[in-house]
């Protein structure tokens, strides 16, 4: 299955704890979209997060994120 990486530009108010929480929300529903969250990174200085996800297509990753937390 393909592996995708997406990038999220976040607001200045976002913390590492908040990113960890939304990642856990993804993991709770990933099976509904045929996805498997492999890992994520959060660059606190740049307020950027990256998600590495095994998925059938990029749309599945987007749909999973939207359902889990809207990001």
CB hemisphere CA count around 13 (13 angstroms): 0
pTM of the model as a whole: 0.87
At residue 5 the predicted structure's pLDDT band, cuts being 50, 70 and 90, is very high
Per-residue pLDDT at 70:
81
Query: Which is nearest to 40 in space by CA: 66, 7, 1, 67?
Result: 7
pLDDT at 50 over 90: yes
Work out the average pLDDT over 16-40.
96
Of the chain, the percentage scoring pLDDT greater than 90 comes to 96
In this predicted structure, the answer to whether residue 71 has a pLDDT above a threshold of 80 is: no
């Amino acid at each position: 299955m393909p592996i995708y990486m997406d990038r999220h530009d976040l607001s200045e108010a976002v913390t590492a704890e908040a990113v960890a929480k939304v990642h856990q929300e993804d993991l709770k529903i990933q099976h509904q979209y045929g996805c498997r969250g492999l890992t994520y990174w959060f660059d606190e200085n740049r307020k950027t997060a990256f998600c590495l996800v095994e998925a059938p297509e990029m749309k599945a990753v987007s749909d999973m994120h939207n359902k889990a937390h809207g990001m």
